[in-house]
Every structure is written in structure tokens, then in C-alpha cells.
Structure 1
Amino acid sequence: MACDFRRGGKLKLASKPSHVGKLQAMAEEIRREVDPSAEWLTREDLRNEVVSDASHGGILYPKSAMMHMGRYANGVAQAAHRHGAAIWERNAVTARERVPNGWRAARWATWRWGARTPIRSTVSRGPPSRCIQETRGSCPSSAPIAA
């Protein structure tokens, strides 16, 4: 899918001296629990990454990636449509229901089924308000869609 994906890394910078301790602790936790390649960079180390002395340190996530979200969303929508899904834009989630591992959108403002195989919303492990916020205006897949 053409969405300008690239893995270029990410820096989270400490803009104030008071941020350093918390970010150092966060870097250690991320390295221990999530990504062993994440590392804390001192102010001096940052000079190799950023031409500035404005930051007091930072976390480098070398595996972090980015993509053009609009192109990605359009690509997913096109693949879903090719496989028989009906897509309704600007269709707000108006209700949710608890499922064993989180929340699922249960009702949309315009509730119509037109697809041969309806696509249900993905499960969010976040709080209910986040689930609604993330799914508003779209009906994301609950399983991967082959392009």
C-alpha cells in the first residue's frame, strides 16, 4: 500500500531540566518492557542528532516509523471495498459494548448493513471514550484485510 512508510526513528526531547528525570525513567521502562533499542541521550549525545542546545536530553526510538495516514486510510478503504465492504463516511459511533478484552463499537448514527460481509469495529483496549474517538467517522476492520 503506497502510504510513504519510512522507518526514521523518533526523538522525545526534554525541553526543561525538570523533564529529565521523568524521561530517563520512561526510557528505562521502555527499554526493559517494550523496545531494548530505545536509549537515553544526554544533552551532549543529542548534538549528534539535533543541531541545537535547547534540549536537556531525550529518548531515541531508533525503530520508530511514520506514514501518511490519509493515504493509509484510503488504501485500507479501497482494499475493503474491493472485497465487498460497504463504507459509510461521517458515521459517528453512538454506543459501545464491553467485550472480553476491551470495547467494541455497537451502534452507529446511521445503522445500515449493505456489505456482503459486514466489517465490525476493532476492539480498543483503551477507555470507552477513546474507543469512540478512535472509531468515529469510520468502521475499521476487526481482522487484517488482504490488499
Structure 2
Amino acid sequence: MNIEVIKEFVMQNWLVIVVALIILFFVLNVVKTVLKWAIAIIIIAALLIYSGISIDQIKQTVTDVQSSTMDTLKKEATSMMLKEASKATYTKGQDGAFTITSPNVDIKGRTNSDKVDVTLRGISLGEWKVDNETIRTFVKQAQENGTAPAS
């Protein structure tokens, strides 16, 4: 979305926006049911559609934000693995499953699998391939730290 397009739209349609905001304010203060949120969503959607912003643009923006957030979380998890490798504990299950736990990062996987599940501070970051050097180093260091008893 171009900021100039938004500025131009606001300058050309300021009266429509003000009327919509007044109606929205009235609806939110007077109507006391779930209906008020439905009306509010309809008013906001109408303004967005009227402004020329398409649903595809909104979806693309949400996708971009989501992708950027996941990239940031993955970088943070990688950084935490490097910092916390010496504090990691390795727990091996009887069925070939293992869990590596450190203060902020948890990894779960299977012994002969090329993928592991990574969790950063309780937020799942999905499956990662073990071909990542940081993950291999983290796993190796956790194994060297000692194996915790299986629970």
C-alpha cells in the first residue's frame, strides 16, 4: 500500500470518513449487543472497500507480517540455541524420541529423523530440518551435557 494513495483518499473523502466515524461512535456507544460489532465491522469494511483497498491487499499485508514475524522468531530461536547450548538437557525416550530443553528453547524429535519440532518460549515454530548447523551443534552440546532420565 502506498502512503500517498491513502493521503489522497483521505483528502478527497474526509467528509465520508467523518460521517462513518460518527456513525461508528454512535453504534458502539448506543447499541449494547453483538449486533454493534457486526455493524462496526460492516462500516469499517465499507470504508476499506470504498477506499479501493482490496481483500487481496489486506491478505498480502497479513501474510507479509506473519512471514516477517516467523523469520524474526526463527532468528531469535537460533540465537538462543547458541547462547543456551551449555544449559541444555537431553532426554531420550524408549521409542527413539528425544527432547532437548533449555531455558527458552525446546526441541523434540526422533533419533533417525531429519526434522525436529522447535519451540521458543512456549511458541511453536514448526518443524525444522536438522541440516541446520546451529541445530546440530545444539543437539550435540545437549548430548554432551548429559542425558536426563526419561519420564
For the criterion TM > 0.5, the same-fold answer is: no
Higher helix fraction (1 or 2): 2
Q: What's the TM-score bracket when you normalise by the shorter of the two chains?
A: under 0.3
